[in-house]
Amino acid sequence: MHTDLVAALDIGGTKIAGALVDGHGRILLRAQRATPAREPGDTVMDAVADVLTELAASPLWRGVRAVGIGSAGPVDASTGSVSPVNIPGWRAYPLVERVRAATGGLPVELIGDGVAITAAEHWQGAARGHDNALCMVVSTGVGGGLVLGGRLHPGPTGNAGHIGHISVDLDGDPCPCGSRGCVERIASGPNIARRALEGGWRPGPDGDTSAAAVAAAARDGHPVAVASFERAARALAAGIAATATLVEIDIAVIGGGVGKAGDVLFTPLRAALAEYATLSFVQRLTVAPALMGTDAGLVGAAAAALTTTPPQPNARAAGV
């Protein structure tokens, strides 16, 4: 019987993934449903409950001691509620209470998805062994999280490290968050593609206007595509340098679809970091691609549950 087993949920706008994860981060069982993102909040919760019911049908479930949730944000861990931008039916939705009720009263740990991915990279990925790290997801949006002093730093509400919405361009374009010139407004995949199209780049015969297509064009030397990635790299570098100067991180890990662009992103990013991270105590800062794949959200949610709920020799876990 596993005594260090937790259930993990990774809740996003397209899918709700669940798993049973052991103390080594191994996924022992999976369940998944599409997110009915346009439906009322309780319908979305029904899909979460379906995932939990499927997991609970396993004999392994008797060893589960807690549930970790990594959710699209914003989340509010202080109240146990979530208001994901891309799930309009959930506004201040009491997710922790509902999951606790659906699991017979298990402890529930809620963090934002960027924080969850950070927990995974710190546990098993590119930030392993680093006591002070910023991990980022650069894809449709830009999220992130922090490890400080060797521990995950979710902050009071579970959103700390949300680097996508710090401003790096004081008079920049308005951002959907209400601010302007945010890292996300410049460096997200859709914004990389938008800027390339505005500059005159055109997709190939397949009509693919994604950031991945812009990255391919940049690798072929298309100057507008190269420039759009350089602009994104500068925005990321400014945000990373600011973070390093504030809290002395020594590594920034970049994942997500844009993070897969390789040298097209990382070469100008390292050059821009040398320009922005200038003080002696941030010059050792390195950047690295993320190592955790699509399971990062689940593994990170499990990590949060494992670290905040120490093993208890209760009747369930002991199999009595």
Q: Which residues bind Zn ion (CB under 5 A)?
A: 165, 175, 177, 179, 182
What are the C-alpha distances in Å from 8 to residues 18, 52, 69, 110, 196?
Answer: 5, 9, 6, 10, 38
Beta strands in 22-90 (DSSP E): 27-34, 64-71, 75-76, 81-82
Residue among 165 and 195 whose Cβ is closer to Zn ion: 165
CA 119, CA 125: separation in Å to the nearest integer?
A: 9
Taking the complex as a whole, how short is the minimal distance between the CB of residue 219 and Zn ion, in angstroms?
A: 29
Taking the complex as a whole, how short is the minimal distance between the CB of residue 92 and Zn ion, in angstroms?
A: 20
What SS3 state is found at 295?
A: coil
Task: Please give the span between the terminal C-alpha atoms of the chain, in angstroms, as a whole number.
Answer: 11
Taking the complex as a whole, how short is the minimal distance between the CB of residue 143 and Zn ion, in angstroms?
A: 11
Report cis status (omega within 30 of 0) of the bond before 74: yes
CA 229, CA 186: separation in Å to the nearest integer?
A: 10
**Are 19 and 302 contacting, i.e. CB atoms less than 8 angstroms apart?**
yes
Residue among 80 and 164 whose Cβ is closer to Zn ion: 164
Residue among 85 and 101 whose Cβ is closer to Zn ion: 85
Residue among 41 and 161 whose Cβ is closer to Zn ion: 161
Taking the complex as a whole, how short is the minimal distance between the CB of residue 177 and Zn ion, in angstroms?
A: 3
Residue among 172 and 203 whose Cβ is closer to Zn ion: 172
Joined tokens for residue 250: 């020594």
Taking the complex as a whole, how short is the minimal distance between the CB of residue 199 and Zn ion, in angstroms?
A: 22
